[in-house]
A = this chain, B = another copy of it.
């Protein structure tokens, strides 16, 4: 091969690389792209960890976030919580080993799942400032401060204890310095992120101190801890052959039948009997640890032919109808809002998830734009979408998200919205699941799985129907009101004329006429009529509501 290179020459450079190195080269995949986004990503990771830790320990979170400017494009971030603390022997891996964590293997709904987030922050701090992160933690049994650096080549932590302190209580503070970041008060900034987080986590108190020193306290609105999500058994319809074999190999059961009953949700002896009828050549008394791929495949196939009860759903922790209502009122002060909580569903056959949705119209709903169109009309606001996954706000990658796709695919005209992009309407969607299929490692968008998109569509359409009743109420009210006003304009003159003709007292006539007309248009004087199906915001005044589509 003249002029060519041989395999041996090429493979001389063959190497293996650590996952830290991979993400160091591809930090944009973790959410580190753009200065504003990078800083929000840091806050997102630390805040998520604090909320999860408190939830797991059964504590009402008190979290303080402080951001300070250190120089051009350089900021420090400090996040303190009252969580359970981190045992010293684990703290290095928590903050400086990609893919280490407590949450990876459990089948339970949590915000974090991957063991990437906090280490990603350490990595980003290191590559932009060369600095380690500093941790102070108290678990009730031990208290310490330490610096943690990440050895990128080996994906291993370098921990330097800086103080062993005596302190009661419990909690963790993480402090890091970051370069190539920027604090900005925008839709994608930290203030917005924390506001939305506070709103979807009413049991948490979060204080933010911004670089200019401004302090904002988002106090808890509920002293009730959210239902602690339970780790659940996997559902027979949500399992694939590979998972089945893994479970079988780990099982203490020596019989396939017992293994199935103990491992899977909704599996009973009765169901195993049904399975035996279907998969006749499988020996259900055999050792599950020795099952072959082909046999496991047959069992999975049989699973799909049996009727199962739906998956257990108490593994799911939602924001809640009332809280979404409060959230929307708080952020948007809308003229109208409606909230829908759907029943839990499953995707990929057996992974439970639940969709909550809310819709708001008027007030600060939608995104202000004030655009003048070609035909001269002015669009004041365009529809916008507030996305959440497991109660965590998603601020980035909107175009890559199932929530965006589902909401935009709806025929809004059917619900009284001529164009979603030209109306003051906001849609809020929260998807909760033990396993949210994120489209990227940075977890800012939900993968476009058909089952999930369909369920979001149904939830948003439910909201649309509620809105539509309200909007048609408003419209008919407007029509009635304009008729009423027109008629009233003639009452005085008509009464006078009738008085002259009939020689009766025109004052009596006017009184009588007015009373008749007012009776006919009585709806205009009672409150909230025609809107009983939605959750009309109490202090709204329908007369101030502009006609839809003419704004």
Instruction: Identify the A interface with B (CB < 8 A).
Output: 1, 3-8, 10-11, 13-19, 21-22, 24-26, 28-29, 33, 53, 56-59, 84-87, 90, 93, 97, 99-102, 104-106, 114-115, 126-131, 139-141, 170, 240-242, 245, 293, 296-297, 397, 399-400, 435, 437-441, 447-449
Contacts and interface: CB of A to CB of B under 8 A. Distances in A.
B1 A105 contact: no
Contact of A440 (B15, B29, B139): B29
Nearest to A435: B25
A107 to B, nearest CB: 11
Contacts of A97: 16
Contact of A439 (B29, B87, B114): B29
11 contacts: A7-B86, A8-B87, A11-B102, A13-B106, A14-B93, A15-B102, A15-B105, A17-B99, A28-B439, A29-B440, A130-B296
Given A114-B22, A127-B242, A397-B400, A56 B5 contact: yes
B102 A14 contact: yes
Given A397-B400, A400-B400, 4 more contacts: A4-B59, A7-B87, A15-B101, A19-B22
Nearest to A5: B57
B57 A139 contact: no
Contacts of A170: 1, 7
Nearest to A19: B19
Contact of A140 (B6, B53, B57): B6
Contacts of A14: 90, 93, 100-102
Q: Which of A84, A90, A435 has the most CB of B within 10 A?
A: A84
A90 B11 contact: yes
A59 B1 contact: yes
Given A26-B438, A28-B439, A97-B16, A240 B128 contact: yes
B17 A115 contact: yes
Given A7-B170, A240-B128, A447-B33, A15 B57 contact: no
Contacts of A439: 28-29, 440
Contacts of A11: 86-87, 90, 102
A245 B130 contact: yes
Contacts of A87: 7-8, 11
A242 B93 contact: no
Contacts of A17: 99-101, 104, 115
B84 A4 contact: yes
Nearest to A103: B13
A59 B441 CA distance: 36
B397 A28 contact: no
One complex includes copies of this chain to the number of 2
Contacts of A115: 16-17
Given A126-B242, A400-B397, A139 B8 contact: yes
Given A15-B102, A99-B22, A245-B130, A7 B440 contact: no
B10 A102 contact: yes
A25 B441 CA distance: 12
Contacts of A5: 56-58, 84
A25 B105 CA distance: 10
Contacts of A22: 19, 99, 114
Contacts of A293: 129-131
A141 B130 CA distance: 46
Contacts of A56: 5, 10
Nearest to A52: B10
Q: Which of A10, A105, A128, A439 has the most CB of B within 10 A?
A: A10
Q: Which of A24, A57, A449 has the most CB of B within 10 A?
A: A57
Given A1-B57, A29-B439, A297-B130, A84 B7 contact: yes
A53 B206 CA distance: 54
Contacts of A140: 1, 6-7
Contacts of A435: 25
A442 to B, nearest CB: 9
Given A18-B99, A293-B130, A84 B400 contact: no
